[in-house]
Amino acid sequence: MIDDTLTANRIVEAADRLFYARGVQAVGMDAIRGEAGVSLKRIYSLFPSKDDLTVAVLHRRRDQWNAGIAASAENAETAREKLLAIFDFLDAWFREPDFHGCAFINVFGELSGGSEQVRQQARKQKQAFVDYVAQLVEDAGAPEELGPQIAILAEGAQTTAAILGGPEAAAQARAAAVTLLDSALERNASATAQQPG
């Protein structure tokens, strides 16, 4: 069982590297076999289809994303700081030499027409991020409609950085998030102050 887990992890890591660099459809199972150093028979015994392997890669990416977001928020003391830390995480990620955009967006764009499993995983990940942002917006005392707006800034920054090939989109999206947040919080404070006591 431990051997199965170690081998599966090796296969998923190899597939992740190849899929992220080249795209899922451009990578054959032979390439994964070569990268992982595992026989095709063994790969198929653990992942009966390429879709199953792609879903496992997306699970790995989800775990990496969640760990990165959590680490970026670790020293933040307020919900506002945690929201802005998302963009600091993005900025660091965009500067990595092998950054090729969001794996979920990439795979969804490439395979969503043919794989319900992939569609579900991508939607699940994106909804979880929207929910995370929405909770922070609520904790910050900002209006509910701000949650999807900030999530869209983060998503747009990922796509822009991938296409334009630079990290600037993270800082631009962060500045927009600051403007939205501070404006909403000021309106809330002003409305509260005007209420009869």
Tens of pLDDT along 17-46? 999 999 999 999 999 999 999 999 999 999
74: left (phi over 0), alpha (psi -120 to 50) or beta: alpha
Domain span(s) for CATH 1.10.357.10 in the chain: 54-194
Please identify, in words, the CATH class of the domain defined by 54-194: mainly alpha
* Sequence-distant (≥ 6) Cβ neighbours of residue 59 within 8 angstroms: 121
Contact 102, 158 (CB under 8 A): yes
Q: List Cα–Cα distances, 49 to 8, 118, 166, in angstroms.
A: 13, 12, 35
Is pLDDT at 71 greater than 70 in this prediction?
yes
Q: Which residues of 173-194 are buried (b: 16+ CB within 10 A; e: fewer)?
A: bbebbeebbeebbeeeeeeeee
Report angle CA 159, 161, 165 to the nearest 5 degrees.
130
Please identify, in words, the CATH class of the domain defined by 1-48: mainly alpha
Q: List Cα–Cα distances, 9 to 4, 39, 86, in angstroms.
A: 8, 14, 27
Place 194 in a pLDDT band, splitting at 50, 70 and 90: low
Domain span(s) for CATH 1.10.10.60 in the chain: 1-48
pLDDT confidence of residue 113: 72
pLDDT in tens, 89-128: 999 999 999 999 999 999 999 987 778 889 999 999 999 9
Whole-number Å distance between alpha carbons of 105 and 184: 29
**pTM higher than 0.75:** yes
